[in-house]
Each structure stands twice: as C-alpha cells, then as structure tokens.
Structure 1
Amino acid sequence: MKKRKISIKIVTAISLFLILFTVVTNFCIYRIESNKIMKSNYDNMKIITSEIGNSFRSSIAYQIENLKSVSKESVVADYYSNNLSEEKQKTLSDRLKKVSSNYDEAIFVTDKNGVIKASSNDQYTGLSLSSKSYFKDTTGGKEGIGSVESSVITGKFIVYFLVPVEDQYGTIVGAVGKVLDSSYFSERFNSFKFLNTGYVFMIDSSKKLVYHPDLHKINKPIMIKEIANLLKDSQYITKSNSDVKAYEENGKSMVAETLTIPELKMMVVLTADKSEILEASTYMGKLLIIFGIVEQAILIPLILVMINSVLKPLKRLTSNTKQISEGDLTVLSKVDSKDELGELSRNFDFMIGNIKILINEIKGSANDLLNINECFSVVQQENHEGMTFIKESSQVMVDETRNIDEAIKWCIEGFERYEEKLNAINVKSEKMFKHANSIRTVNSEGMESIYELRDIGNSAGKNFNAINDSIKKLITNLNSINTIAKGVTNISNQTNILSLNASIEAAKAGEFGKSFSVVAEEIGKLSNSIESEMKSINNLIKVINNNINETTESMDELNKFFNLQVDVLNVSVDKFNTIIKSTDKIIGYIQEVNSNITTINSEKNEMNKRLSDVNTTFEEFNKGIEEVSASVNKQYEDSAMLDEIKNSMNHTVSNLQSSISNFKID
C-alpha cells in the first residue's frame, strides 16, 4: 500500500478547512447583507407607497378646504339667500370661473335636491347628482368624495368633491363641489423612477387602470392576476390596506407594493423588477467568490512550505522509532533545534534511556514474580479449600433462616385472621349493645306508660266510688221527693173534697153563691191538675229509680273491671322491672365482652408488633446472610479466578523474559 506523506495530509486538511470556512463565512456574509439590501429595498418601496398615500390624503384635504373656502364666500351666500335667482346665478358662475384651476374640470353649486345651478363649466349646469352617494353624504352634513370615474363631458378620469352649504339657521340648502381631473394626482408620477425599472400605476374599483406610464394601458382592465385578486373583495378598496405581491410580466419576475386610497376607492401600486432589487446582492456574492479563490491560491502554497520545514525533524524521529520497534535501543535523534521539536527529540532520547533502565528492572522483577507466584500457589490452594467449606455452610444457614422467616410470616398471617374474627365479634357485640339499649329504652317507656295507666285506673276507681256515693244521695233525694209528692197528692185530694163541699154550699146559697161556685170549680180543676201532675212525677221518679239502679249495677261492674285492670298493670310492672334488670345484665355482659375484646386486641397488637419486629429483624438477618453468602460466593469465584490469574501470570512472566531477551541495550 502506497504511503502518503503527513505534510500532504495536513495541507489537504487545512486547505479543506480554509475552503469550508471561507465558503461558510462568505455565504453567511452574503445572506446577511443580501437580506439587508432586499429588506432595505422593500422598506423603501413601502415608505414610498406610504408617502404617496399621505400625498393623496393631503391633496384630498386641500381640495376639501378649497371648496369650504368657496362655500363661505359672500357671493354663494347671496345666491342661496335670494332663492337661487338667475341674476345671482350669473354672478356666481363668473366667480366660480375665476377660482377654477387648470385641474378643475368644473366648480359648481347645487340646490338642496342635487341639481347643479351654477358652474364654471356651463356644460355641467342642470346636471343632477341626487342619486350619487357623495351628494347624499352632503345632505347629512358631511363632505362627499366620489370614486374615480369617466367624465360624461370630456371622457377623462375625474373625481367629484362636494361640501355642504348651510344657511344662517344651520339648515343645509345645497352643496359646493368640483370635478377634478385625475391627472392632478397622477401627473406627479410621469417622471417618477424607482431604481431603474420601477414605476407607479393606479387602479380604480372596477379593476381598470386609471394611470399607467404606458398610456395605451389606461382605461383597460388590469392584467396582473395577483393584484386583480386583491380587488375581488369589494370591501378591500374601501379600507386602508397594503400588500406585497410577486408576479410574472413579460418573462420577468416583478415585485409590487400596493396601497389602497379608500377616499377615492382607488389602489396605488409601486412595482419593480425583482432582479434589479437583487442586483446589488448578486454583485456582492460574485466579489466574495473571487476573493475566496484568490485567498486559497495564496494560502495553500505558503502552508505547504511551512509544514515541510516543521515536519523535517519528525522524519528523523520516525526513522529512530522504526529502529526501536525492531529492538535497537542504541539510536539517538540528534535534533539541535530549540523549538518544541528539539524538546521532543531530547525527551525522546531521555525516554530511550529510561526504557533501558526499566528493562533491566523488569528482568529482575520477572524473576521475583516467579518466586512469588510459587508461594502464592500454595497459599491459594489452602484458601480455595477454606472458601469451599464456608460456601457450603453459608448456604445451609441461608436455607434455615428462610424457613424461620416463613414460620414468622405464617404466625403474623394467623394473627391477622384472628384479628379479623375478633373485629367481626366486636361489630356484632356493638350491634347487640345498641339493640339491648333500644330494648331497655322501649321497656322504660312501656313502664312509664303502665304507671300512667295504673294511675288512671286508680283515679277512675276513686271517681267511680264518688259517683256511687252521688247516686246513693240522688236515690235518697228521690225518695224524699216521692214522700213530698205523696203529701202533695193528699193535699190535692183534700182540696178536691173541699171544692165539692164549696160547690154544694154555693148551690145552697143560690144567686149569692154563684161567684163562690166559680171559685170552687176552679179550685177543683186545680186539684185535679195537681193530682194528674203528681201522678206523672211519681211515674218519672219510678223510671229514674230504675235507671239509677241499672247505672249503679253498671258502675259496680265497671269498677270491678278497673280494679282487675289495675291488678294486671301491677303484674305487668313487675314483669317489666324483671325485663329491665335482665336487659341491664345483658348490657353489662356485652360491655364486658367489648372490654375483653379491646384488651385482646391491644395484646394482639403488641404481639403483632413484636412479631413484625422479629420478622423485620429476621428479614434483615436473612438479607445479611444472603449478602454474606453472595460475598462468599464472590470470594469463591475470585479464588477460582486467582487460580486462573496465577497460571496466566506464570505464562506472562515466561513470555516477558522471552521478550526482554530480544532488546539490544549495550
């Protein structure tokens, strides 16, 4: 294989690096500067279009102010105050002709209906603007500006400007306006140039060219699709908008900056050849390429000469290292320069001397290693046997600790099952405790109800006894009444006899006893009536006596029932007292069970904790045993490896002695 010189490699590497560095640097410079130039040109286009827009707005404002000054002239006020008389109309028309400029196709005055009454151009007189939106704006008190349109008189592109006219009371009576030739706005662009090929053109809302440096294109539709697409939205041109568009025209790449003039419903476009915008950056890129080529042509030969002079001592060192690789340690470099290569040469000679000393020391060390290795073999044999015994013992210990750990875990699981059962018993005892308390509460409430019933029964018995006493008194009173009734009956009988006797005596007396006979007759009637009533009273008393006797018997039966009920309630009270006492005992037993379960749980938790501690300790112990076992296994493996190392060392020392014998030292 053909060897390449290191100088050629270094020169090639440095040259490639310089070429790459130069290309990257120049490319970055080119990109940055070209972007700056392009941005500057685009910014300039934007600034120019912005200035054009400001110029248009200033011109519009000037025309509006001009019309306002005309509307305030006395001749206009006289015309409207004299009801638009023909005499004043002529004076006004003459005045309008005087204030008309070269760009004004007509200055006019309208009535409130939009009909032009006086004009600097008689051809406009009588023309009605009532249907125009800009006239409608003036009726609302605002200035009106029309879009660019073709004149019906001259065929030129014109723009209408109108301002409202008010009388002394603030009422709008008409408008003052003018028809302005669009060349007022476009004439300034005739001599305009941007770079070498840049120019300005204007488009109206109907996509027709209002102005173009090429006069043949005026009043024709715009043929640039990218710009025409902007006007598809009818609202686009009624607002302030700007855009940058790239397009192709006659095989050239063009760039256009657009700006809408919403007051005139018109768009101004500044366009230029894209290659001209990029021309400066392209020229700069060519200069950078030429500079890079010249730079490389000068630097590469200089680098080659410098590297050859630097690498000359290295060639001698390369020759010496070749002799050393063949085992000859008697060579010297003999480079006398005082630079880094001279220092490298001296260090190279010093290194060879140290290698000679090192080889002599290695010879002695190799013999020592052989002796040490023999002793190590004996010790290693004994160590290997001991490690085998320890390995077997540690494995047995690991198995035993695992069994103990499993037993502890089984105990812990048993305690956990025991805890689940105790918890279930505790839950049931708590439910029994709640039920027992509920039963005790119900029994207590039942006792209270029974006590109330017993009290009611006792009270009813007392009331029945009082009623019996009252009935007995009533019977006594009825007997007294019966006696009195008998007395009254006797008196009535005697009165009846007395009445008969009186009647007899009255009959005897004749005429003189007639009045007394009437009295005797009435007394007889009264006596009979009393006797009849007393019979009724006697019958009623008999009925009452019968009812009282029946009531007395019923009351006696009812009293016996209440007494029996009170006895039953007393027995119920005793039974409820027995139930409550039994319930209290059950509650006590349940509380004792809960207390015992709590105590058992507490002791179980302590036992569980201790078992967990023992388990943790055994796990740590088991882990330690496993680590010891792993360590023992590792040491056992290391011991086996030491055997291999010992054998390898014997082989290595033999090879070392053989290799050292190949070096030429003296």
Structure 2
Amino acid sequence: MSKKSTIIRRSGKIRNKLLIYIVPIVVIMIAVLVIIATTMSKRRMTDLATSNLNSSISNQTNNIESWLNENLEFFKTAKQGIEGLNPDDEQLQIILNSYYGFNSNSPEGLHIATSDGKFIKPTNSELEESDPTNSIWYKQGLSRANMQYGTAYKNAEGKNVVSASAIINYGDDSIKVIAADVTLDKISIIVNSGVKMEKASSFLVDTNDNTILAHRDSSLVSTTLSTDSSDALLSSVAQAIKDGEYSTREIGSYVVAFKEIKGTDWVLVSYIAEDVIMASIQELTNYLVIAGTISVIVIIILIIFVVSKVVAPLAGITNSIRAMSEGDFTIDVQQESNDEIGVMSGRIAEFVESMRNMISSISEQSKKLKQESENSDSVSKDMYEASQSQAEAMQQLNETVDQLAIAVGDIANNATTLAAVVADTRDNSHKADDAMKETVKISQKGREDMEKLSNAMEGIQVANGKLVDAINEVGTASEEITNIVSMIAEIAEETNLLSLNASIEAARAGEAGKGFAVVATQIGKLAQTSSESATNISNLIEEVHRLIDEAVGQANASAESIEENSELISIAVQTFDQIYENIQASNDCIEEMIQDVQKVDDVATNVAAISEEQAASADEILATSQNMVEQAKTISKNSEDVANNSHELANTSDTLSSHVQQFKI
C-alpha cells in the first residue's frame, strides 16, 4: 500500500511541474497577443480616423475655396468691364444696377466709394454707409489693385459678410474703391453639413481677430477665440492659431485638423472626439479578452488531460525500478506504446531479462570455480619444486631473446613507417596534381567568362548610345509642343480681350445686353482657364526639358563608367592569362615531384622488405624462446603461488555465492 501511494505522489509532482511551467507561458503568450492586437488596432484606428478627418477637411476647404473663387471671378470681370468702359456717373449707375441681384451670393451687387466720401450703389440696394471712407472694405481695398477678400464683419443689417474690394480706375484722378459684400450663409452650410466623417464637427475662424465665422453651435458664431477660454478645445485651437501651428494632432480628448483657406485669412478647424474613435477599439478589446480567457481555460484543460495521459505509464516504470532496487527480478515489464516512455519500458524489460541470465550464469560459475580452486591447490604443491630449477635457466635465455626481438621489431616498424609515409606522400602528390589540373580548367573558364563579359559591356555601351539618341528625339518633340502651347496662350489672350470688349458693349446696351454680358463673362472665364492651362503645360514642358538634360548627363556618365569597366575587364583578362601561366608552371613542378616521390617509394619498399625478412628470423628465434617460457609458466602455475591463490579463490567463490543468493530470478 505504501509503495502505491508513493508512486502516485511522485507522478503527481511531475504533472504539477509540467503545469507550472506550461500554463503561465500559455497565459502570458495569449495576454501578449491580446495586448499587441489591441495596441495595433488602436494605432490603426487612430491613423484611419486622422486620415478621414484630413480628407474631410480638405474636401470642405476645396468647396469653400471654389465658392469664393467663383464669386471673386465674377467681381473681377465686373471691375474690368467698368474700367474698360470708362463710364460717366450716369453710365456707372446703369452698370451697377445691372449687377444688382445678378449673383445670389452677393444680392446687393457692387458698390463704389470715392475718397471724397461719395457712396455709389445700385438704385434698389438697401446698403447704407454714412462714412464710407472709414468702412472696413474701403480701407482694405485701398491696398489692392485686384479684387481680393478682406476680413469678415457684420454689416448694418447684422449679417456676417466678407467684402471683396480693390481700387478701380476708369479715367479720372480720384481714388475709388469698388466692393461687393458676400454673405457667409453658404459657407456656414459648407462648414456645418459638409463634414464627410461621421460624428465629426467643423468651425471657421478668421485669424485676423480670431472671430468664429461659422459653427454648428450658433451661439459661438461671431464670438472671439481666446487662449483663456473655459473650453479646453477652443483655448487650445486659439493657441495653435496664435503659434501658426496647423498640423493635425491630438488636443485634449479630441483629434483636431487645421486647414487654411487660400486667398483669405481664414482657418477651417475640424475635430472628432477620441471616445468616438476608441469605441470600436474598446469593443474589440472586450472580445479579445473574452476569447483569450476562454482559450486559456480550454488550453489548460487540454494540457492537464495530455500531461496525465503522458505521465500515467511512469507509475508502472517507477514500481518496476523500485522492485529491481530491492533485488527482485521476477517482475514483468510490458511495453504499451512506441514513444519515449514505451521505449523506456522495453529497455527495462530487456535489462531485467539480461540480469536474470547474468545472475544464473554467475551462480553456476561460482560453483565450478570452487571445485577447480580445490583441484588447483593439490596440483600446485606437486609442481612447485620442478618449477624452481627450470625458472633460473629460462630466465637468462628469455632475456637475451627478448632484447633481440625488440631490436628487430624496431627496425621493421621504422621501415614500415617510412614506406607508409612515402605512400601517403605519393597519394597526396597525385591529389595535388588532380587539384592543380582542375584549377587550370577553372582559370581557363574564368578567362573565357571575362571575355564574354567584355563583349557584353560593348553591347551595353551601344545600347546606351541609342538611349541618348531617343532622349534627344523626345526633347525635339517637347519643343514642338511648346510652340503649340504658346499659340494656345496667344489665342486665349485675344479671346479674353474679346470677352472684355463684349462685356463693355453689353453694359452699354443696358438691360437688353444683360444676357449677352453673362455669355461674355463665361467666355472670359474660359479664356482665363485656357491661358492658365497653357501656362501649366509650358511649365511641365520646361520640367521635361530639365529631366531630359539630366537623363542625357546620366547616360553620358554611364557611358564613361562602361568604358572604365571595359578597361578593367581587359586588365582582368590579362591577369587571368598570367594566373593560367603560373598555374601551368606549378603543375609541371608537381609532376616532377611525383616522379621523385616514386623513387623514394621504391627505396622505402626495399628497406621494408629487408626489415620484414629480419623480423621473420627474429620471430622464429622468439618462438623457440617463447615455447621454453611457456613451459616455465606451466610449471609456475603449479607452484606455491598458485596454491595460495587457490585458497583465496575458494573464499571468493563462497562470497560470490552468498551474494547471488540475495537475488530472486
């Protein structure tokens, strides 16, 4: 009962050790995988959200810029038309009346203020300026020759507007500023409803005075951003605008993107809460933790099951080893599997069978040994006296023969060693000769490969020349394209002038030419677009010319490099020729060395043959002496020393028998 409990306790310890080593590793690995997956997902979702936010704000910015430019082009065309007509006050009034209500984004049309305080507006306009020279749009327009947007402000009606203004000149020496007010209602719509990213928001800021021009929260419109604001997001945005830092980044609990509106001092700010971004990450993390926990539990159960199955056969092996340690070899060990434990059981079974046979044999031999030792004791006493007389005579003869045999043996060994060394040297020489011949073949092949490489370099040089010619042809074609683009630019300029003249004629025609003025305006835009496209194409052609010049320079450099490499390859071919000659000379020397070694081998063979004959003679003498020594040994076996040993052998046999009796077989 105690044996069984001990065996179960020991196998349990092995299982516990395996579980202690394996389970924490599995738990740590799954935890690390969950952490890595969560971290990478968080990083990926943040990058994706930032990318979407940048894409959304870029789309909004493009829409705002497109809307502003569309209106600005209309104002520029109207200004150019007025300047081209050089109208008097009556004609000017008619022109301004024609633009009233023409643009829905600027319903009040165009208005003009002079340096002497005169304010000219469309007849139906409700705009009022008591002191136009002190107005924001007038002061901003004094510094511009072309129509440009200024800062946003509230007009007399309390609406948020931005004015496009510039100095206008139509023939007299007075200073006049023409302007048009654009309401920000359309921009507010773009800012509030143009956000592509779900749950993201935007607002527009005028950086001149940090005024919020558009915001989803209408109560914040027309308020001023401040770094002292109680709202952490607004105060941080105000600080970023103050520092001029418009990179996308995390501010508090938001991801914030900035985008400047070209042609204005406005900055569009778009933001989204990190909680929105992280909501899906938290859900994914929860799923991963649950899946990881379930995986750990399942793996632990599987590990316990597998370990128990693996460790169970060790109990029987432990029981068998314990029985063998107590001297019991009657046990029967069975091999139940082909794994390491099964092999261990099979080996133990073989060991038990081997021990049974060995113990039985020792028991039988100990009995025989005891009988022989008793017989030897009686015979040794009879032979002792005869061995004494022969021992002295044989001692002298044996010493003489031993010295002679040693001398002859040394000569034979030295001769044999010499012959073996010479044979090894001859074999090594043949191997060196074979290796040298192989080296000659390899060097010859290397020389042929270098010649092929030289021919290939010449082909590359020819191909490089053809590449330069092709690049030059591309340069010629680009020059022809440049001429065509120049012709397109001239046509665009003439079309623009015709459009301007048509606008002037339409203005003169009054109400009847209003429709024609719209067509002339569109033609002017088309001409302007064609001119800009021609300019862009010209710039691209210049860039192509520059790249062609660089390509030609690189091709010439490649040609020089190819020539240098061709010279190096020629030098390498000459070097291979020299190596080939040196290897050939070394091969001749090795062949001469092989012939000399052959001569030495013949001499060593003769010496070995002579030594073997002498050794044979010495062996015959030694054999005779050995026979006499054997007779002396036979007598000595029956001497008194053998008798004493016989007694000891008998005692040893008794002891051995007592030990063997302790084993069970």
Normalized against structure 2, the TM-score is what? 0.47
